[in-house]
Structure 1
Amino acid sequence: MKISRLHYPLADEFKVDGSTVVAMGFFDGFHKGHQAVLQRAKDEAEKRGAKLAVLTYDHHPAIVYRKMSPHEQRYLTLNDYKMKLFKDFGVDQVFLVNYSYDFQSQTPEQFVNNFLKRFNAVAVVAGFDHTYGDKKVATMANFPKYVKGAFDVITVPAVDINGKKVSSTRIRIELDSGDVDSVTELLGRPFQTRGVIVHGEERGRLLGYPTANVKHSEYQWLPAIGIYVVTVEIAGKRYLGMASIGKNVTFSDVHPMTVEINLMDFDHNIYGEVVNVNWLSFLRNEIKFQTPEDLIDQLDKDKQATREYLEQHPDVID
């Protein structure tokens, strides 16, 4: 898969060999709605003998329009993971555009002429609610009149689950409530994060539950504070674990939030390893225990619940 990092205006020497079918979108999350857009584009590309291309952006477009809180600036899928998902889907070409003020200030006609035509697009595919500039005018309903027959416009309807539209916003809300089970349904796969194993306070080891401390990017969206069933991918192999996102409130009132994972049936030094964490199921909220012994009793129950989850879902570590 070829990735072209683009900036407005495009360089004069930029060119694309061959025709493309372009799927447009930010695709944060790569959920079932996004997959429907990409599948339609893939089908069109195969039918027309064209390359499957994606036009996407290097950061939240909203950054240009308004001030965003640190939480809002996080992502469901960081860029490297998003590119991997595109590649695994069969995308041939990614046009990764820097979403700047100048880029978004183009009129819809300028966007078509300056970008999509230069991509040799024979068809452009996007979700029904996709916008490509001023949200009042740059809608999919208006898109054909700006294109003027230069290529076909294909609009993909919403994907609904349980009577509600699948969307990145919906997934963020579910993660903020800890409902990773619902997120799995919306994504069609477990929610995954990536981080590096770093040293912690090693308090878990003293309790008989040693933990791997996973340092995530500050831009990674995480589930809500709580205890979860997870699998951790280390060097291509999955291991079952129970993860804590929290502030170790039993031992401190001012501890920073950490992600700590007790890996089951695992005893190996993995400091420095970059791992993928698959968030499978919510177990409970974080609790401030009166004594370390109370905490250990609860951890024993969490461990049993985690093993029961594996019994019911044996494929999670295949």
Structure 2
Amino acid sequence: MDIIKLHYPLDDDCQSKDKTVIAMGFFDGFHTGHQAVLQRAKEEAQKHGTKLVVLTYDHHPALVYKKMSSHEKRYITLLDYKLKLFKEFGVDEVLLVNYSYQFQSQSPQEFIQHFLSRFNPIAVVAGFDHTYGGEPADNMVNLPKYVNGAFKVITVPALKQNDQKVSSTQIRNNLDNGHIEKVNQLLGRPFQTEGVIVHGEERGRLLGYPTANVEHSEYQWLPTIGIYIVTVEIGRKKYLGMASIGKNVTFSDNGPMTVEINLIDFHQNIYGEVVRVNWLSHGRGEIKFKTADDLVEQLDRDEQDTRHYLSEHPDILN
């Protein structure tokens, strides 16, 4: 899969001679609704024997038009992972646009001339709520009249689960509320994050539950504080674990937020490993225990719950 980084204005020689079908969108999360857009574009590309191309953006478009909190600046899928998902889906080329004020300020006619037409589309596909500029009218309803028959415009309707539109906003809200099972339904796969194993306080080792401390990018949207059942991919192998996102409140009221994972029946030194964490099920919230013994008793119960989950879902380690 080719990745072409684009900056407004484009160089004169930045164009495609091959016919394409272009799917447009930011695709944060690449959830089942996004996959429906890509699937429609893929079908159109296969029908006409053209390249399947994605036009997407290097950061949140909202950064251009509003002040965002540090939490809002996070992503469900960081860029490298999103590109990996595109490749696995069968995308041939990604047009990765630097979403700037100048890019957003183009008129629809300029956007079509300066970007879409440069890449020789026979069809452009997007979700019903996709916008391509800074004005409310820059939407998929109006795009056909600006295109004026130069290529086909395909609008994919909302995908719904339980009468609710599948959306990145819905996924973020569910992550913030610890509803990881619902997140996975919306994604059509386990929610996955990537981080590096670093040294921590090593309290877990003293309690008989050594943990791998996973340091994530500050831009990664994580589930809320709590205890989760996970699998951890190290190299090409998956391991069962119970993960804690929290501040270790049993030992300190002012500790930093950490992600710590106890890997079940695992005894290797993995400091420095880059691992992928698949978040499968929410167990409980964070509890402040009176004694370390009370904490160990709860960890024993958490381990039993984790092993039971594996017995009911044996395929999670495949």
TM-score w.r.t. length of structure 1:
0.99
Matches within 5 A, 1:187-226: 187-226=187-226
Partner Cα separation in structure 2 for residue 102 and residue 218 of structure 1: 27
Partner Cα separation in structure 1 for residue 16 and residue 314 of structure 2: 46
SS at match of 1:60: coil
Instruction: State the Cα deviation string for residues 148-183 of structure 1 (Å, max 9, x = none).
Output: 111100000011001100000000000000000001
Give the drift of 1:135.
4.2
SS at match of 1:294: helix
Partner residue, 1:80: 80
Partner residue, 1:96: 96
Give the drift of 1:134.
2.6
Q: Which amino acid aligns with 2:19?
A: S
SS at match of 1:304: helix
SS at match of 2:308: helix
Count of residue pairs brought into register by the alignment = 318
Partner residue, 1:185: 185
Q: Which amino acid aligns with 1:106?
A: Q
Partner Cα separation in structure 2 for residue 183 and residue 252 of structure 1: 31
Partner Cα separation in structure 2 for residue 243 and residue 17 of structure 1: 50
Matches within 5 A, 1:151-300: 151-300=151-300
Partner Cα separation in structure 1 for residue 199 and residue 302 of structure 2: 23
Partner residue, 2:29: 29
Q: Which amino acid aligns with 1:103?
A: F
SS at match of 1:315: helix
Gaps of 5+ in 2: none
Partner Cα separation in structure 2 for residue 153 and residue 186 of structure 1: 26
Instruction: State the Cα deviation string for residues 2-46 of structure 1 (Å, max 9, x = none).
Output: 000000001112122301100000000000000000000000000
Partner residue, 2:62: 62
Partner residue, 1:134: 134
Partner Cα separation in structure 2 for residue 17 and residue 243 of structure 1: 50
SS at match of 1:11: coil
Hey, which bits of structure 1, 4+ residues long, moved more than 4 A? none
Partner Cα separation in structure 1 for residue 261 and residue 129 of structure 2: 39
Partner Cα separation in structure 2 for residue 187 and residue 128 of structure 1: 19
The answer to whether 1:48 aligns with 2:48 is yes
SS at match of 2:230: strand
Give the drift of 1:265.
1.2
Partner Cα separation in structure 2 for residue 146 and residue 221 of structure 1: 37
The answer to whether 1:112 aligns with 2:121 is no
Partner Cα separation in structure 2 for residue 284 and residue 273 of structure 1: 27
Give the drift of 1:142.
0.4
Partner Cα separation in structure 2 for residue 135 and residue 35 of structure 1: 26
Instruction: State the Cα deviation string for residues 49-75 of structure 1 (Å, max 9, x = none).
Output: 110000000000000010000000000
Partner residue, 2:307: 307
Partner residue, 1:18: 18
Partner Cα separation in structure 2 for residue 108 and residue 180 of structure 1: 39
Q: Which amino acid aligns with 2:121?
A: A
Q: Which amino acid aligns with 1:205?
A: R
Partner Cα separation in structure 1 for residue 172 and residue 135 of structure 2: 22
Partner Cα separation in structure 1 for residue 174 and residue 274 of structure 2: 26
SS at match of 1:125: strand
Give the drift of 1:266.
0.7
